[in-house]
Structure 1
Amino acid sequence: MALGGRPVAPQLRASAPALTRSVLRRLLAELPVYAALPDEELAGDIAEIVQHTLRLFADVIERRQPMDGPDLAPQRISAAQRAEEGVPLDAILTAYQIGVEMCWRETTARARPDELPAVLELSTHLLRLQRELIASVSAAYLEARELLEGDEYSDRRLLLASLLAGEEPDVVAGRTGVRPAARYVVLTLALAAHPDEARPGPVAVIAARRKLRRIRQALDRFTGEPALTALDAAGGTALLAVDAPPPWPSLDALIAHAAESAGTPVTAAAAITEPADIPAAVTRNAEVVRLVRDSGRGPGLYRLADVLLDYQLSRPSAASAGLAGLLAPLDHKPDLLLTLETLLTHDLDRRATAATLHLHPNTVDYRIRRVAALTGLSPNRTSDLHHLNAALVARRCM
């Protein structure tokens, strides 16, 4: 099919990037909910679906046949994601209408009077595409909302609540109609705020929902079935049903992938346990995450073995006060205490310590000598190093 003496399909494909930008500008100007979306979402998910739809129409014109059902899968996925984020359905359908209108104007702008039959044929294809888009997008959106609010979601929430309460498997099965798995990966997640969550207006709410959706998607893909989650913008608990304990590196990779997908750092603790031990695992995981954050460790996945010293010293003990007291001479010398903590965090690497604190390495050496003079303990002596680490942990835990 040609208009203005040029094939329509290749012309539309070539102009798709520029036309996508024009569509986005109109969405921002005419639909307040799109103007409130995070820039990352507009430039990513929304722009991709606009361009995919334009190229899909080019394929329809080239074949002069209706599209197949799978062709609209990206649009259905996008509609479900917008439903989870709380974007209204009427705004989504209006956005597609704007895109269809601009596509029609782009493809017919150079049509000559003698090409009226071709214009009518193109319009027929475009109207059919619009009808199928509206039907598919509406169905996917409503299905996603129904899932969020329906019985299946409620059953999962009830199962999660029963497991967190420590109920016996037979009792859980009787209450929920679902028998718990033999074992679960128990995850406690601490989520940093996405930069868009600091923006004013509804964009912050949408950004938080998008972050949680991407976290849940990563968790669901790990086991191939919906995870049991109780999450808000700051984090929460997730239970992943597994047949056998997964290798620790795979769980580590899961958390890294979730953080990358959500665009925000994630600090997590994990334990693999049977249903009866889930409440204790959740409590222990929360303590692990707290100790990790208090000690200044970076984001990532941790287990109890990674913070054993911190965990033990956080328990009430007569020795804790004595250990913390080893550093009492530094109570009013925060620069010396910070330098010591940073040096131990960097495994005694004085240059890395200096770079972190924006000091000269010689200044680090001087401060460490002052620490040794005041406390009698030097990180350069192996026997003192253990005492210094324990003393710092004890101070944090008091």
Structure 2
Amino acid sequence: MAAREARRSDQPRGGLSATTLRAIERASGEFATSAVDEMQRRLPWFTKMTADQRASVKLVVQTGAAGFVEWFHDPRSALRMTVLTFRGAPRDLSRWVSLRQTVELVRVAIEVYEEHIPSLARDEAERDRLTEAVLRYGREVAFAAATSYAAAAESRGAWDARLEALVVDGIVRGDAEETLLSRAAALGWAPGAPATVIVGGSPSEDQPTMLYEVRNRAARTGRPVLIGVQGERLVVVLGGPIERPAELEDLNPMAEVFAEGPVIAGPTVPRLAEAHRSAAEALSGLRAVAGWPSAPRPVRAVELLPERALDGDADAQAQLVEQIARPLEDSGGALLETVQTYLEAGGVLESCARQLYVHPNTVRYRLKRTAELTGRNPLDARDAHVLRIALTVGRLNRS
């Protein structure tokens, strides 16, 4: 009777005898130690880890070896068991072990298993079965490791996305400098890097693709970028200066990502802590751009100073006075009188000359001086409009 029970308890399970499975289970600790020793021998970076870190790796390896026996009892639980092997590990290991290094660890461990486990077989049939099983189990472990790291990466990506949205929202609101900079630094943004805020409509469909396009286009120009979607509005903070003509060209590919409608770029500020100024001007331009139906896309907020001033933007009014009205007033009466007369004459140079009792060449010279002084050429229709609004605002401020 006892002999029959012993034979019954040693019946094959999944192609292996219970005796062999027990031998593998008892040897799991030895296999784990051998695997760690092999890792120390073959992987230079592994020897630089602390004792606690190596102990964590050994625990994962030993758990994986024990899971090999469980896998034979229930092959359908293979994925569940191997995922459990890594469930707690990535939160610790992924901080100091990359996915590439984890693959190297798995490869070494499986090679050790492949070398030692088949030696516990009772016969040639079990040896073949064990060799095949080690390879299959190794595949499951490798996929489990990749799945765990992918889940950890997704979690970090979701957290980064939320943090990025907070940074962009803080820029729009003008949050405290310390809070903004610490969050931006966590995203890899250099606090001293120049920044330009671009605003426009957000595409309503396929938002992940849109976000990818923004990052891809920014990467092509070698610029860091922060992105925030605020309802129907897309806010992009682009790193680096955007002042010279070649730099302004970088705005064109970025504008293509926005939804149909105007795209406004604020001024470039010297560092991220001042980006709220760029955001304020860009958003002011977005509200006022309807006053200039033929505005280019994208358009700088500074080009919308007249519309912003008429919309009640006190900062735009101050800029018009400081940049145009006051320099003309300080230059002397002749220059200011010539510009005012030229604008009132409907831009007809000869008519302006007759009203001022001067030669047309004198008017041309004074208009050229005006362009040099203010950056606005009275002979250009748009610049003439800006000059007219600036002089009007200047007169209203004096009244």
TM-score (norm. length: structure 2) = 0.36
TM-score (norm. length: structure 1) = 0.36
Larger Rg: 2
Structure scoring higher RCO (CA < 8 A, sep ≥ 6) equals: 1
